[in-house]
Amino acid sequence: MKIHEKYINRCIQLAQNGLGTTYPNPLVGSVLTYKNSIIGEGWHQKAGGPHAEVNAIRAVKDQSLLKKATIYVSLEPCSHYGKTPPCSDLIIASGIKKVVIGIVDPFAKVKGKGIKKLLDAGCEVSVGILEDQCRELNKRFFTFHEKKRPYIILKWASTKNNFIAPLSKKERAPVWITNKYSRQLVHKWRSEEQAILVGTNTAVADNPKLNTRLWEGSNPVRILLDQNLRTPKDSALFDRSIKTIVITSQASRDSFTKNEIGKNELILEAIDFNKEIAPQIVEVLYTHELQSVIIEGGGKTLQTFIDSGLWDEARIFTGEAMFPEGVKAPEFNGKLAGEHNLLSDKLKIYIND
């Protein structure tokens, strides 16, 4: 069993290379071994491209070894036709008889069917190796398919005296609490998630772009929560450079649609603001097939998700800045999962336990 763990762990390492580029597909790594040596490995790099098993099999220089090899894969091989053929079929056609799988795929079109196909073909299949680690690797994918919602990350920065923003300022621009290294890390995070959400007050006060300009990577879908469409029409969020979803009231949606919304990457979705807001937002994001979202503010929006219990992870910076008065940081309870220093900034990671 230890040897299985060794190679599944390698699969996990390989799979992490695809973070941010495989949506809506999961992160998957695969390794082929012969006589306790790796003869091929690969990972899923981009949706629509070859899956991890395909890349690993192609990497084997001596294809005659496949019939004697063991294939390791962090997630159950697919069994259906999507943009690519089933990986389980390729494994069988390659003559590979030993298959070791980290965890069963939660996607309804797979979910045990790949394993059954392998078993029916006479393969020796082992399942459930480093299962917790494999689930953590694809926490976004599992949350989306099992809970029917995106994986929700809360993020904010607070001053030493626990404010996340000043009460007032002269211009529509962010007031930075953290240093440039923390800000770059946040842009890296944005490139790893499918969506990013802010509320009206943040959009009005800071005029954020919500892109990845400080990091190489894809821009997340921008989500704006704005009940009465108070955000100025010349705001960066309305520049149509990135797909943007505005969640508003039905009345506001109807009035705005008469003018210009609904074209060029700008979409309006209506919810009932007289009911609990967070579950409705989550439903909208699920409908748009967004597997993860970073909630970046402001305080009221963050607290809405906290009070609803709809969050999975919180990433909280504390900078050196001090405000004489301001907007208080959200109040929440979570399990501390990690602490880091970025020069003078402190970063704490919490999970909703």
Active-site hit among 53, 192, 269, 313 = 53
Rounded to an integer, the average pLDDT of 207-236 is 95
- Provide the pairing of β-strand 163-166 with 195-199: unpaired
- The binding site for NADP(+) comprises 157, 176, 202
**Could you tell me if 164 and 326 are in contact, meaning their C-beta atoms sit under 8 angstroms apart?**
yes
Tokens representing residue 198 in the block: 């802010």
Shared-domain flag, residues 158 and 76? no
The domain that holds 347 is classified in CATH as 3.40.430.10
- Measured between alpha carbons, how far is 248 from 239 in angstroms, rounded to an integer? 18
The total of structural domains in the chain comes to: 2
| Helices vs strands, H then E, count in the chain | 11, 16
Tokens representing residue 63 in the block: 């294809």
Last residue of a domain, one of 116, 141, 166: 141
Last residue of a domain, one of 123, 141, 159: 141
Q: Helices marked H in 148-271 — which ranges?
A: 180-192, 200-206, 250-257
Shared-domain flag, residues 256 and 308? yes
Shared-domain flag, residues 125 and 174? no
Shared-domain flag, residues 181 and 317? yes
Shared-domain flag, residues 125 and 155? no
Q: How many CB atoms lie within 10 A of CB 42?
A: 25
Shared-domain flag, residues 156 and 106? no
Least confident of 79-83, 248-252, 270-274: 79-83
State yes or no: pLDDT of 159 exceeds 70. yes
The domain that holds 59 is classified in CATH as 3.40.140.10
State yes or no: pLDDT of 353 exceeds 90. no
Last residue of a domain, one of 103, 123, 141: 141
- The binding site for Zn(2+) comprises 51, 78, 87
Shared-domain flag, residues 172 and 304? yes
State yes or no: pLDDT of 257 exceeds 80. no
279-337: pLDDT as tens digits: 999 999 999 999 999 999 889 999 999 999 999 999 999 999 999 999 999 999 999 99
Give me the chain's average pLDDT, please.
94
pLDDT for position 262: 47
Q: Of all residues in the chain, what percent are helix, strand and coil, respectively (each to 5)?
A: 30, 25, 40
Handedness of CA 144, 305, 215, 316 (dihedral sign): negative
Overall pTM > 0.75: yes
State yes or no: pLDDT of 261 exceeds 60. no
Shared-domain flag, residues 160 and 99? no
184-221: pLDDT as tens digits: 999 999 999 999 999 999 999 999 999 999 999 999 99
- The binding site comprises 51, 78, 87, 157, 176, 190, 202, 206, 210, 213, 296
- Does residue 131 have an active-site annotation? no
Shared-domain flag, residues 203 and 329? yes
- The binding site for substrate comprises 190, 206, 210, 213, 296
Shared-domain flag, residues 304 and 223? yes
Shared-domain flag, residues 38 and 1? yes
Shared-domain flag, residues 216 and 316? yes
Rounded to an integer, the average pLDDT of 157-175 is 90
pLDDT for position 265: 80
Q: 104: domain range? A: 1-141
82-118: pLDDT as tens digits: 667 889 999 999 999 999 999 999 988 888 999 999 9
